[in-house]
Chains A and B, each alone.
Chain A
Amino acid sequence: MHGFANPARFLRLARWMMPLLLVSGLLLSMGALIYGMIVVPPDRLMGETVRIMFIHVPAAWLGMAGWSTIAIASIVELVWRHPLAAIAGRAAAVPGATFTAICLATGSIWARPTWGTWWVWDGRLTSFLVLLFLYFGYIALSGAAQRDMAGGGGGNRITAIFGLVGAINIPIINRSVVWWNSLHQPPSITAGKSAIDGTFLWPLLIAAIGFSLIFGGVVIARMRTLLADIQAEARLRRKAMA
């Protein structure tokens, strides 16, 4: 793993990975969303509004996958002090927060016609809103750590601890509809079984793969930007010293 400790090697890989992930992700998501808008039949009870699922559900998965990325990067940062770990965690935060916000917004739009309300404070909705606030905290904290690099990287470790502690919210989100009575329905897809008819399930899974590829592409793009920033700053500092 420390083969990638040298950013140059990572950057060579990132140069062709980024466009590959972004283009294939965009194509898959576009295909799945267009198919979901035009071809998929309306739901037995919800009618046309079921199509929101093809954005809402992948966005929810990616919002949670974003924080899982942060948690793994945090462990790598704390245990192995890998130089790319803090950068990877920081790069995953903004796209993760974006998907979380998309999930909350589409969920609210979907809830109005189906449940009869924009928002309720039940276990699932509340824990997902907490996830968005955790992202805001992480973004602020990692930004402060980045500006304080002269402090010897202690800020990165504080950020990583926050990322690890925040990860406790992920299983809570997952279990919230099982532990507590909630307005949000229980999971439709559980290990090996699906309560979603195949007509809806296939475009949903393809959209999820597409969204994931876009997420990966954006994370790599942001890692490149952050590395370039650090390099530029180091160069400026060297010039100031000379």
Chain B
Amino acid sequence: MSTSSAGGIKPKHQRLVLIIVALVALIGAGLLAAYALSNQASYFYVPADLVKDPPEQGRAIRLGGMVEKGSLKTRSDGITIDFVVGDGKARVPVRFTGITPDLFVENSGVVAEGRMEGQTFVADNLLAKHDENYVPRQMGDMTPEQAKQVVAETQ
């Protein structure tokens, strides 16, 4: 490797400056691309998006949010459910016929695939969204009998 200086700067340092400039440009380009993608790359709309800018009727979209507490009702046919998805700003009623995933419960996240029909979102498929909290089943405030039952249920 040559250590002769070109204009007082070692080639090593020249390369270092070049790499730093290239890295800054690269990160800038990446951030710009990510910013431009910010709407298109989202996996679902939240209820506030649907209320602010309603999509065409019948176009396939995804709706994500929290299943509101107390809103989940099963119809008399036993497999059709109605519930309300909210994000704290807006609420959208949802209808779904079929089998729900295990984690689909009230007060928990959901992503519904389907379309708007009138004011109701008709879902073909439901995906449960897990939040970032990992908590073991609380056994501290249970009686020993209850704790034993929980253990039996989980085995």
> Once bound together, how far apart are the Cα atoms of A24 and B124, in whole Å?
50
Within the complex, the shortest CB–CB distance from B9 to chain A, in Å, comes to 13
Q: Are the CB atoms of B103 and A183 closer together than 8 Å?
A: no
A71, closest chain B residue (CB): B23
Contact B64 A44 (CB under 8 A): no
Contacts of A48 in B (CB 8 A): 154
Stretch binding the partner chain, chosen from A98-106, A134-142, A193-201: A193-201
- Residue interface bits B133-152, CB-to-A below 8 A is 1, else 0: 11111110000000000000
Taking the nearest CB of chain A, how far is it from the CB of B121, in angstroms?
Answer: 16
Residue of A nearest to B26 (CB): A168
Chain B residues 68 to 123 lying within 8 A of chain A, measured CB to CB, are 100-105, 108, 111
Tell me which of A53, A114, A175 contacts B34 (CB under 8 A).
Answer: A175
Query: What's the tally of chain B residues with a CB closer than 8 Å to chain A?
Result: 45
Give, as a whole number of angstroms, the nearest-CB distance from B127 to chain A. 5
Chain A contacts for B6, CB-based, 8 A: none
Residues in B with CB closer than 8 Å to A180 are 37-38, 41-43
Bound complex: CA of A75 vs CA of B131, how far in Å?
37
- Which residue of chain A has its CB nearest to the CB of B133? A195
Q: In chain B, what residue has the closest Cβ to A5?
A: B1
Contact among A115, A175, A181 for B127, CB-based, below 8 A? A115
Known contacts A42-B154, A75-B19, A123-B41; A200 and B103 CB within 8 A of each other: no
The residues of B with any CB-CB pair to A shorter than 8 Å are 1, 12, 15-16, 19, 22-23, 26-27, 29-30, 34, 37-38, 41-46, 64, 100-105, 108, 111, 125-139, 154
Known A-B contacts: A123-B41, A186-B132. Give 12 more (CB < 8 A). A42-B136, A44-B135, A75-B19, A79-B15, A80-B12, A114-B128, A116-B102, A164-B19, A171-B30, A185-B131, A188-B134, A196-B133
The 9 closest A-B pairs by CB, nearest first: A116-B101, A122-B43, A41-B136, A181-B42, A168-B30, A188-B132, A196-B134, A195-B132, A180-B42
* Interface positions of A (Cβ within 8 A of B): 40-48, 50, 53, 75, 78-81, 113-117, 120-123, 164-165, 168, 171-172, 175, 179-183, 185-188, 195-197, 199-200
